[in-house]
Amino acid sequence: MNQPTCTVKVSREFQATAEAVFDAWLAPKQAGRFLFVTPTGIMKMVEIDARVGGKFCIIETRDGVDAEHVGEYLKIERPLHLHFSFGGKPFPATYVKLEIAKSQTGCLLNLVHDGVWLEYEASVIQGWTGILANLALVLAEKIE
């Protein structure tokens, strides 16, 4: 069944270096603190093979059900570009691009998520906005 899709764009300024922001996406301990984390969920697994062609799998248990987030790294150019496929049951693969630009106070992260089902646009925007807010908290705490 063909679903109409859209592109979601979310940006956030960080008071951290581009390197710190970029590296957090590929470091399992940090990623497990902000990627796909919910207030009541329990992080079950974070596996990251941080190389082009490598895959990631992040599973959080939510109300007794495992929410699985998987993808493959398509482009890794530290510290400015990270592109990956992204999926999770029952959704087909979509594509996420992170573009990070250095700024006077840290860096600006622009996230573009292509192929989002149109009916989920608002919730995907909310999800990525929350993920970036969690990332800012993780970076401020300097959690490794």
DSSP result, 41-95:
-EEEEEEE--STT-EEEEEEEETTEEEEEEEEEEEEETTTEEEEEEEETTEEEEE
> What local confidence, expressed as pLDDT, does residue 144 receive?
46
Q: What token pair was written down for 108?
A: 């600006």
Question: Rg of the Cα trace of the chain?
Answer: 15
Q: Which domain holds residue 104?
A: 5-141
Per-residue pLDDT averaged across 74-80, rounded? 98
> What local confidence, expressed as pLDDT, does residue 1 receive?
56
Give the number of domains in the chain: 1
The CATH number assigned to the domain holding 111 equals 3.30.530.20
What average pLDDT does the structure give for the chain? 93
Per-residue pLDDT averaged across 61-78, rounded? 94
pLDDT tens-digit readout, 10-64: 999 999 999 999 999 999 999 999 999 888 889 999 999 999 999 999 999 999 9
User: How much of the chain, in percent, has pLDDT values that exceed 70?
Assistant: 95
Query: From the CB of residue 1, how many other CB atoms can be counted at a distance below 10 Å?
Result: 2
pTM of the model: 0.91
> What local confidence, expressed as pLDDT, does residue 92 receive?
80
